[in-house]
Amino acid sequence: MTDEFKDVREQVRGRYAAAARQVLRGEQTSGRGDGCGPCSAADDEPVFGAGLYAASERAELPVAAVAASLGCGNPTAVVALTEGETVLDLGSGGGIDVLLSARRVGPGGRAYGLDMTEEMLDLARATAAAAGVANVEFRKGTIEAIPLPDGVIDVVISNCVVNLSPDKPAVFAETYRVLGPGGRIGITDLVTDVADDRPPVADRAAAVGEAECGGAGALPVGEYRDGLLAAGFTHVEIAPTHRVGTETHSAIIRATKPYAPDGLTIRPMRVADAAQVLAIYQAGLDTGGAGFETAAPAWEAFDAAKLAVPRYVAADATTRAVLGWAAAAPVSDRCAYAGVVEHSMYVHQEAWGCGIGTALLRAFIDATEDAGIWTVQSGIFPENTSSLALHRRVGFRVVGTRERIGQRDGRWRDVLLLERRTRRTL
């Protein structure tokens, strides 16, 4: 992280530390730790703070936890929590959302709060003790480097904190990492109406340090969505709720980490995966039943030919070895075919029959829908009955046969053309 980003973080830390000290002294905060001023709009509807929670929720919590609420929404109201789940609150502040979550998941569940401000952590621990809630734990750290192991969280919540980060891609990647397969996020955050002529990322990060109600660190909805997709999330929903500044809204953000079989994780493909991805590719080609090519390309050619999103690998959750991958290439550079891709998927032969192909393909399809892709195509040899069956299970259909389209091992081969159309309204 650059010195400029570190300076931004320290400015944010200082403002929220001051807000915590206000609460500890029994003083009223402004409703947000960034100098926003009044926490209500002109029509007296709350836009920041405890007024966004139901009276019944506020009544069951210590006064200090309610007074320290500085968010722009109520994340516990936008994601369903069930007994026994483990929840993480990014930027937990005085602990209001941690305490509410802890009661929803019950004694068999657990709620973590993460905050970088020592004063807020002291306040949160005091409010938890006052509330008599035992299934909580508050940890010091940053949301760009979450101090938790991989895959241990069921639900990540956050209340108007991500917009304050100078490195949002790191926040999205870390959130994805700590979630288990099928884990989900339900957060409230600021988004901006301004989509064009945005300043450089570094300039925006610096502006966070001077943020007012306008939310200088807020992303446009499209950029926010792209960031979540790049991190690997699917089923991304971003719904603006109420206006908090001239060009800024509070928004509800939901997304899901793809399901994976036990002991595995599905995540975005990285450059560091190149050797394993290409080895699996080559092993598949060597069977003679996966494609016309006989040699996998170099990584540079592979990377240039495939879309950046979606690209997934299935990896062993313990050893992190790559066991399969899925990626897509555009079928044409013509505008009319912008939403049509041809996909490739290969699974390590020693992992066949473990459900990896199904999980990879389902995650890939979900991601294509989020990315606005409306048709996914694939060419499969008729003899490859297992691949045909897999594709049919996830919604592909055979639309034709390309007869004698190419040679493999000295003989002409037919290819079945499969296609899956989006089920979303275009």
Looking at the structure, tell me whether residues 268 and 249 fall in a common domain: no
Within the chain, how many helices (H) and strands (E) appear?
12, 15
* Bridge partners, 344 (sequence order): 327
Residues 358 and 213 both lie in one domain: no
**426 within a domain of the structure (yes/no):** no
**Cβ–Cβ < 8 Å for 272, 320:** no
CATH code, domain with 11: 3.40.50.150
271 lies in the same domain as 250 = no
Do residues 234 and 300 both lie within one domain?
Answer: no
Q: Among 224, 256, 288, which residue terminates a domain? A: 256
Query: In sequence order, what are the beta bridge partners of 346?
Result: 325
Tell me, yes or no, whether 89 and 203 share the same domain: yes
Element housing 172 (H / E):
helix 168-178
Please count the structural domains in the chain.
2
Taking alpha carbons only, the member of 302, 298, 290 closest to residue 409 is: 290
Phi, psi angle pair for 417, to nearest 5°: -95, 115
In the beta sheet, which residues pair with residue 265?
A: 315
Q: Which among 209, 234, 256 is the end of a domain?
A: 256
249 and 285 both lie in a single domain: no
Q: 3-state class of 201 per DSSP? A: helix
CA distances 394 to 261, 310, 317, 361, 380, Å, are 16, 17, 24, 8, 15
Q: Quick check: is 399 in a domain?
A: yes
C-beta pairs of 192-199 under 8 Å, 24+ apart in sequence: 192/218, 192/219, 192/220, 192/247, 192/248, 192/249, 193/220, 193/247, 193/248, 193/249, 194/220, 194/247, 195/220, 195/221, 195/222, 195/223, 198/223
Find out whether 366 and 395 touch, Cβ atoms under 8 Å.
no
On the question of a cis peptide bond just before residue 310, with omega within 30 degrees of 0, the verdict is: yes
Closest Cα to residue 23, out of 46, 47, 49, 44? 49
CB distance 305 to 282 below 8 Å: no
DSSP state of 351: G
- Quick one: which of 33, 97, 20, 34 has its CA closest to 64? 20
In a domain, 13, yes or no: yes
pLDDT of residue 205: 43
Q: How far does the chain reach from its first CA to its final CA, in angstroms?
A: 40
Written as tens digits, the pLDDT of the chain (426 aa) is 566 667 677 777 667 667 656 655 565 555 444 434 334 444 556 566 565 676 667 666 666 666 556 667 778 888 999 999 999 999 998 888 899 999 999 999 999 999 998 988 988 998 899 989 999 999 999 999 999 999 999 999 999 999 999 999 999 999 999 999 999 999 999 999 876 444 444 444 444 444 444 456 899 999 999 999 999 999 999 999 888 888 899 999 999 999 999 999 999 999 999 999 999 999 999 999 999 999 999 999 999 999 999 999 999 999 999 999 999 999 999 999 999 999 999 999 999 999 999 999 999 999 999 999 999 999 999 999 999 999 999 999 999 999 999 999 899 999 999 999 998 765
Domain that holds residue 396: 264-421
Residue 112 resides in a domain: yes
Q: Do 166 and 40 lie in a common domain?
A: yes
Tell me: the pLDDT tens digits for 137-188?
999 999 999 999 999 999 999 999 999 999 999 999 999 999 999 999 999 9
The verdict on pTM exceeding 0.75 is yes
Amino acid at 412: W
